[in-house]
Structure 1
Amino acid sequence: MRAPDSDQIAAQAATRKIIHIDMDAFYASVEQRDNPDLRGKPVAVGGSAQRGVVAAASYEARKFGVRSAMPSVTARRQCPDLIFVKPRFEVYKSISRQIRDIFAEHTPIIEPLSLDEAYLDVTENLHGIPLARDVALRIREKIKAETGLNASAGVSYNKFLAKLASDHRKPNGQYVISPEMGPAFVEALAVGKFHGIGPATSAKFNALGIFTGLDIRNQSLEFLQHNFGKSGAYYYWISRGVDDRPVRANRIRKSVGAENTFSSDLIEFEGMVAELQPLVDKVWRHCEATGSRGRTVTLKVKFFDFETIMRSRSVAAPVAGRDDLERLAVSLLQAEMPLPKSVRLLGVSLSTLTTVASDEVASQFDLPI
């Protein structure tokens, strides 16, 4: 992150108006909306009582500690009455498009992060509304009216604080962090609450005696860069409430992937190859729909005991076709055979994505299986 000077900081605080919109328990809320029998009950989308992982949890389930990415067995143990529902991704995507259209009525500067989350720059919004908080209220009201779903919003002068603000009054809430509030809001925040700081980095901060935003602010830029590399400058500035990243419209997706948890563990190579086919199909459908191609194929293997390995291969030119993607994925799997344990999940992803003109695409390799 480029370090802004004092004039840039002042200009940023004075002029930028950024909203972070986050749908509340999106997948689970859609299921509760469409099935009245699920309303008010603990719901987990994805997985099953025996296998898989939770893709999303309703707020009723979250009270029991159920979270996304949690193994289904653990979720059921924590919430015996948990109701598992199969995901309906096409429905979620359709609703997401509705929500995106509502955003576009207010600003063309939209940076989607996922189906249920986006940044909006409303500094110069299409309705000329002077206060960003009023823009956020209008957007949330229209989302509710058109979809029946609740959204939370954070409003601030940069992306980092807008993201923090949207979490502050969830669910179905809104919070504004003004330029005057920003530094003080950050200094009381635990490092584990900083967007972009995961459990491992949080533990590293704690081991250095750093527990809050104020603790980070008290460190020199050199100290943070020495201990956290390139991220050190980012931590230095966000601990001061400063983030000069713009909202990037038409944000380019860097990777696309698909994975599946199996009802029974897999042992045989042929069975795994068969299960890779629909995953490859899904990844390639995205590439065809978006005109994107990638150079790095990654295979994900999760064993019965949840140990996970990732294997990648990069090629000189973008992967040209679906069959090439399959050959690369299968060759990565074959290189690991025989696997030491039975397999509960396989995943395939394609990264370093770029947009490639159709006349530039040609098969670049012929890999044996």
Structure 2
Amino acid sequence: MSLRKIVHIDMDAFYASVEQRDDPKLRGRPVVVAWKGKRSVVCAASYEARRFGVRSAMAAIHAERLCPDAIFVPPDFTRYRAVSHAVREIFQRHTDLIEPLSLDEAYLDVTENKAGLPTATRVAVTIREQILQELQLTASAGVAPNKFLAKIASDWRKPNGLFVIQPTEVEGFLAPLPVGRIPGVGKVTEKKLEQLGIRTVGDLREHELEALENSFGRYGIRLHGLARGLDHSPVVPNRPTQSISAEDTFEYDVTLAETEPMIRRLAEKTWIASRKESRIARTVVLKLKTSEFNILTRSHTPESPPSSCEELTTIALSLRERVDMGSRQRFRLVGVGLNNFYAPDDTPDQSTLFE
């Protein structure tokens, strides 16, 4: 199989950068895009705010403590979508093989490019220049033989950076990286890998496929390939979103009643993520995992799609009332999700409205 040429473009602090671009008073200032309030979470933070430790998905009240001088700006997703569309039009000058991940990032397959540029690196340079000149925004880019490597590369010299991983450099580049740099390896998986003596991608590469599969199931097979820089997944244009969710594992198992604060926080994270989509979700899903690792899901499709974070939260909390396992049951994970997406100009199938 011939090597692909993949570019991953990631807009820098996208929402906050749009706000700073459009309001000169915000430039050079610590900007936090979020609704203020005890239960709100950060949608985005400018790099000036990040120096104080402010990060996306952090509780807004915590961000305010870290950076008392931060300027809080409520998100304007309509405007962000319009800018994202303009960025997408720049991508389309170079390739039709574009796989958006959200409003602010996408994979591009430029194995062949429309502009006839000689290398994938030249394509990435040109795209970044066009975004800066036409939209007054910066983007970081990663260039590599596959999606997995390109995504890591785009984060390597953020903000406003470009990093290229040549096919001959893959093994040496990956070996010293902490396993936490692998997309999909969260804190829980990272801790489990560490218990197996695996701290770096090089350590991971030394483990047999069978051992990883025994410990992590199908994901162990994926880890075995990624440790070797292997990722055969193609860039899929216009892949429709099937679901959006946020979940978290507790440090210690909790009762059902104790899950409310986490459900509220995850509902807001899910709501913020859903605002990046052009399509609308109709179904709310609550996921719970018991201390015995049994997974429960409860879902509800209201007559009208959730129209606010508060409505999504209310539905998610109401789904908890449909879990009847006794007061002694403990849970180790909770998640809140949205699925059953449709385009705004489509008429939803009425038969699914009353699940």
TM-score above 0.5, yes or no: yes
- The alignment's C-alpha RMSD in Å is 3.7
Residue equivalent to 2:321: 336
Residue equivalent to 1:241: 229
For 1:37 and 1:166, the matched residues in 2 are separated by 29
Number of aligned positions between the proteins: 310
Is 2:162 aligned against 1:174? yes
What code does the residue aligned with 2:304 have?
Answer: R
Gaps of 5+ in 1: 1-7, 259-275, 302-309, 341-346
What code does the residue aligned with 1:211 have?
Answer: R
Shifted more, 43-52 versus 66-75: the winner is 43-52
Relative to structure 1, the CA distance from residue 182 to residue 201 in structure 2 (aligned partners, 3 Å threshold; closer, same or farther) is: same
For 2:111 and 2:176, the matched residues in 1 are separated by 28
Q: Please give the residue correspondences for 1:279-294 in structure 2 after superposition, counting only pairs within 5 Å.
A: 290=279
For 1:48 and 1:354, the matched residues in 2 are separated by 30
What code does the residue aligned with 1:202 have?
Answer: E
For 1:257 and 1:224, the matched residues in 2 are separated by 26
**Contact 2:128–2:139 (CA<8 Å) still a contact in 1?**
yes
For 1:230 and 1:75, the matched residues in 2 are separated by 37
Pick the aligned partner of 1:160 from 110, 132, 148: 148
How far residue 186 of structure 1 moved from its aligned partner, in angstroms, is 0.8
Pick the aligned partner of 1:322 from 298, 301, 304: 304
Pick the aligned partner of 1:55 from 43, 46, 59: 43
Is 2:119 aligned against 1:131? yes
Pick the aligned partner of 1:111 from 99, 104, 110: 99
Residue equivalent to 2:53: 65
Is 2:81 aligned against 1:93? yes
Relative to structure 1, the CA distance from residue 335 to residue 110 in structure 2 (aligned partners, 3 Å threshold; closer, same or farther) is: closer
Residue equivalent to 2:298: 313
How far residue 47 of structure 1 moved from its aligned partner, in angstroms, is 2.9
**Contact 2:9–2:142 (CA<8 Å) still a contact in 1?**
yes
How far residue 330 of structure 1 moved from its aligned partner, in angstroms, is 5.1
For 1:80 and 1:360, the matched residues in 2 are separated by 45
Pick the aligned partner of 2:195 from 207, 215, 221: 207
**Contact 2:10–2:106 (CA<8 Å) still a contact in 1?**
yes
For 1:52 and 1:173, the matched residues in 2 are separated by 31
Relative to structure 1, the CA distance from residue 311 to residue 72 in structure 2 (aligned partners, 3 Å threshold; closer, same or farther) is: farther
Relative to structure 1, the CA distance from residue 73 to residue 314 in structure 2 (aligned partners, 3 Å threshold; closer, same or farther) is: closer
**TM value normalised by structure 2:** 0.77
For 1:141 and 1:131, the matched residues in 2 are separated by 16
For 2:64 and 2:348, the matched residues in 1 are separated by 50
**Contact 1:298–1:313 (CA<8 Å) still a contact in 2?**
yes
Percent identity, please: 49
What code does the residue aligned with 1:132 have?
Answer: A
**Contact 1:320–1:364 (CA<8 Å) still a contact in 2?**
no
How far residue 352 of structure 1 moved from its aligned partner, in angstroms, is 5.3
Q: CA deviation digits over 1:16-63, x for unaligned, max 9?
A: 100000000001111111111111111110132655111101101111
Is 2:8 aligned against 1:20? yes
Residue equivalent to 1:230: 218
Q: Which has the larger radius of gyration?
A: 1
Is 2:65 aligned against 1:77? yes
SS at match of 2:168: coil
Q: CA deviation digits over 1:167-224, x for unaligned, max 9?
A: 1111111010000011111111001111111111111111111000100000000011
SS at match of 2:40: coil
What code does the residue aligned with 2:174 have?
Answer: V
For 1:331 and 1:74, the matched residues in 2 are separated by 24
**TM value normalised by structure 1:** 0.74
For 1:246 and 1:167, the matched residues in 2 are separated by 20
Q: CA deviation digits over 1:66-109, x for unaligned, max 9?
A: 10011112112222211111111111000000000110111000
Residue equivalent to 1:143: 131
For 1:235 and 1:92, the matched residues in 2 are separated by 34
For 1:159 and 1:45, the matched residues in 2 are separated by 29
Q: CA deviation digits over 1:134-188, x for unaligned, max 9?
A: 0011111111111100000000000011001101111111010000011111111
Residue equivalent to 1:270: none
What code does the residue aligned with 2:220 have?
Answer: G
Runs of 4+ in structure 1 deviating by more than 6 angstroms, as ranges, are 323-326, 357-360
Is 2:285 aligned against 1:298? yes
What code does the residue aligned with 2:298 have?
Answer: R
What code does the residue aligned with 2:285 have?
Answer: T
